[in-house]
């Protein structure tokens, strides 16, 4: 059994459920003893599944709770000595779990800390900071690189990572078309994708650690119909899910190294209820979850080279507009977290 957590707009702002593939949502866990902030923006389980990061609108803007599978929320860890300068819509754990990073609205736009049962001393900011308000964040699956999506050109910035930020990679020759909302690396670290607010709303490039961006892939034949809020690569295939505004609200494409976007998979039989603020695959690639601003606020589907029949909605739905979802590690089958982000629309 794994767990699934959701960030929402009304108290308690974060909620979580047991999760079982083929069954779906279990009975909601009790809320954490320490309820923080207003307007939950993002959640992410650590690689071990023993900690759960939560980003929200008010100071201190980010918190981490101890997590016990089958039990739920534990005690909140002490806040970092140096807080984020403003709210965060993306938090990422390094694959080792030894680092945690967050993007935010104010300079330096990305902040990272060592992690070992608590926050260490903040890493030095990158020498070249992202070009403005940053929304999306992702470590490569090898942990060798860290990517940031942001609102100003060049819309995506990538750094080597080795217990701190290295020198920024050269920008791609063909930039994303507009505001970078989300950025993710593929399972083998050989592709990188960015979602955006303008056509084609999702772009992808070959990626080589130490070298950087290759030539942009041709745009998908069937584009997302509107704002690309979020995206997520399957951890077991090269399928790429894009959460977007406009029906069908979620689009999934097979991807190939050297080829790029394949033909979009058929839409789910039961569409999500509204704009897809966040999408996430489970670690075994067998499930795909989506959050939105309309009840039931989170929906999920089995996934196997296409959508299965939508899982039954949780008996106790999240507390409001939901903008983050994360699957935890499942001890029996090696689950790992799914993380991502969307741009806050205020």
For residues 167 and 127, the answer to whether their CB atoms sit within 8 Å is yes
pTM score, whole prediction? 0.93
Alpha carbons 306 and 266: distance in angstroms, whole number: 7
Of 131, 125, 137, the residue nearest 165 (C-alpha) = 125
Going along the chain from its start, the domains and CATH numbers come out as: 2-327 (2.130.10.10)
Q: CB-based burial of residue 179 (10 Å sphere; 0-12 exposed, 13-18 middle, 19+ buried)?
A: buried
Residue 345: pLDDT band (50, 70, 90) is very low
Alpha carbons 134 and 343: distance in angstroms, whole number: 9
For residues 189 and 141, the answer to whether their CB atoms sit within 8 Å is yes
Percent of the chain with pLDDT over 70: 95
Average pLDDT over residues 63-74: 96
Average pLDDT over residues 78-100: 97
Q: What is the pLDDT of residues 109-132, one digit of tens each?
A: 999 999 999 999 999 999 999 999
pLDDT for residue 277: 94
**What contacts 24+ positions apart, CB below 8 Å, involve 56-63?**
56/7, 56/13, 56/14, 56/87, 57/87, 57/344, 58/87, 59/83, 60/36, 60/84, 61/37, 61/86, 61/87, 61/88, 61/102, 61/104, 62/88, 62/91, 62/102, 63/34, 63/36, 63/37
Q: CB-based burial of residue 167 (10 Å sphere; 0-12 exposed, 13-18 middle, 19+ buried)?
A: exposed
For residues 22 and 29, the answer to whether their CB atoms sit within 8 Å is no
Q: What is the pLDDT of residues 271-283, one digit of tens each?
A: 999 999 999 999 8
Of 146, 60, 82, 57, the residue nearest 339 (C-alpha) = 146
**Hey, CA dihedral for 217, 218, 221, 222, is it positive or negative?**
positive
What pairing do the DSSP bridges indicate for beta strands 24-25 and 40-45? Answer: unpaired
Of 176, 177, 205, 207, the residue nearest 193 (C-alpha) = 205
Task: For residue 44, count other CB atoms closer than 10 A to its CB.
Answer: 31
Average pLDDT over residues 194-211: 97
Give 340 or 213, the one with higher predicted confidence.
Answer: 213
For residues 178 and 187, the answer to whether their CB atoms sit within 8 Å is no
Q: What is the mean pLDDT of the chain?
A: 93
Q: CB-based burial of residue 132 (10 Å sphere; 0-12 exposed, 13-18 middle, 19+ buried)?
A: middle
pLDDT for residue 336: 35
pLDDT for residue 1: 78
Q: Give the residue carrying structure tokens 């707009």.
A: 9
Average pLDDT over residues 44-56: 95
pLDDT for residue 36: 85
pLDDT for residue 22: 85
Q: What is the pLDDT of residues 162-193, one digit of tens each?
A: 999 999 999 999 999 999 999 999 999 999 99
Average pLDDT over residues 237-245: 97
Alpha carbons 91 and 103: distance in angstroms, whole number: 7
pLDDT for residue 340: 34
pLDDT for residue 330: 65
Is residue 298 predicted with pLDDT exceeding 90? yes
Average pLDDT over residues 145-153: 98
Is residue 333 predicted with pLDDT exceeding 60? no
Is residue 299 predicted with pLDDT exceeding 50? yes
Is residue 332 predicted with pLDDT exceeding 80? no
Q: Which residues pair with 42 in a beta bridge?
A: 55
Residue 231: pLDDT band (50, 70, 90) is very high
For residues 309 and 63, the answer to whether their CB atoms sit within 8 Å is no
Please report the beta strands in 9-89, taking only residues with DSSP state E, as ranges in sequence order: 14-20, 24-25, 40-45, 51-56, 62-68, 72-76
Average pLDDT over residues 203-218: 98
pLDDT for residue 344: 37
pLDDT for residue 145: 98
């Amino acid at each position: 059994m794994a767990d699934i957590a959701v960030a929402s707009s009304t108290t308690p702002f974060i909620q979580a459920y047991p999760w079982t593939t083929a069954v779906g949502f279990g009975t909601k866990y009790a809320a954490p003893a320490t309820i923080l902030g207003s307007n939950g923006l993002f959640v992410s389980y650590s690689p071990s599944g023993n900690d759960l990061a939560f980003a929200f609108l008010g100071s201190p803007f980010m918190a981490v709770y101890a997590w016990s599978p089958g039990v739920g929320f534990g005690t909140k860890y002490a806040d970092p000595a140096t807080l984020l300068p403003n709210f965060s819509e993306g938090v990422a754990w390094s694959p080792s779990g030894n680092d945690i990073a967050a993007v935010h609205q104010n300079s330096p736009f990305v902040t990272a800390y060592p992690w070992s049962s608590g926050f260490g001393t903040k890493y030095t900011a990158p020498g070249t900071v992202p070009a403005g308000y940053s929304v999306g964040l992702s470590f490569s699956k090898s942990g060798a690189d860290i990517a940031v999506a942001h609102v100003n050109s060049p819309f995506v910035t990538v750094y080597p990572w080795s217990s701190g930020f290295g020198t920024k990679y050269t920008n791609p020759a063909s930039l994303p078309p507009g505001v970078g909302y989300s950025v993710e690396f593929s399972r083998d670290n050989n592709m990188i994708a960015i979602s955006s607010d303008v056509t084609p709303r999702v772009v992808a490039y070959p990626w080589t650690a130490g070298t950087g961006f290759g030539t942009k892939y041709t745009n998908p034949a069937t584009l997302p119909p509107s704002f690309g809020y979020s995206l997520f690569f399957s951890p077991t295939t090269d399928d790429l899910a894009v959460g977007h505004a406009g029906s069908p609200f979620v689009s999934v494409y097979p991807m190939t190294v050297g080829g790029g976007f394949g033909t979009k998979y058929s839409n789910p039989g039961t569409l999500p209820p509204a704009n897809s603020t966040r999408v996430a695959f489970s670690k075994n690639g067998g499930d795909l979850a989506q959050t939105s601003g309309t009840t039931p606020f989170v929906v999920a589907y089995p996934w196997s080279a296409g959508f299965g029949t939508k899982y039954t909605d949780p008996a106790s739905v999240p507390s409001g507009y939901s903008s983050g979802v994360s699957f935890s590690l499942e001890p029996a089958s090696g689950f790992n977290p799914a993380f991502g982000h969307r741009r806050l629309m205020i």
